[in-house]
Amino acid sequence: MIYELKVTVDNKSTMTKDHKNFGYYFDSELSAVIDSDNGPAIGGTSSLLIGKGFTHPNVCNLKVRYGGIEVNPKLLNSTTLSTLSPRVSLPGSVVLSTSGNG
């Protein structure tokens, strides 16, 4: 979706001299974890993550989050990432998520 961008400063709206567009895109999504869905607290467990939206043109800094800890995944193809789990101080379950812009 493309929208016209309008800037408002001090309650006054203005358009830029050159019209600019702002586009929204869907966040990347994870649908499956393959090879391993658990590992030791010392980290280093290899997993394949299956999903979509990893190769959108606006994705510039793809990250995988294990809870609040970010790691850099390896993009294998448009639907598959490879990643290593990080070291954690406390064992337990975490939510895996992706971010297209860090």
- At 19 the pLDDT is 66
32 vs 4, which has greater pLDDT? Answer: 32
pTM: 0.73
Residue 1: the pLDDT is 64
Round to whole Å and give the CA distance between 78 and 83: 15
| Superfamily of segment(s) 26-99 | Immunoglobulins (2.60.40.10)
User: How high is the pLDDT of residue 66?
Assistant: 92
Closest to 25 in 3D by CA, of 3, 1, 6, 5: 1
Amino acid (1-letter code) at residue 80:
T
Mean pLDDT of the chain: 85
pLDDT bucket at 25, cuts 50 / 70 / 90: confident
pLDDT band at 71 (very low <50, low <70, confident <90, very high): very high
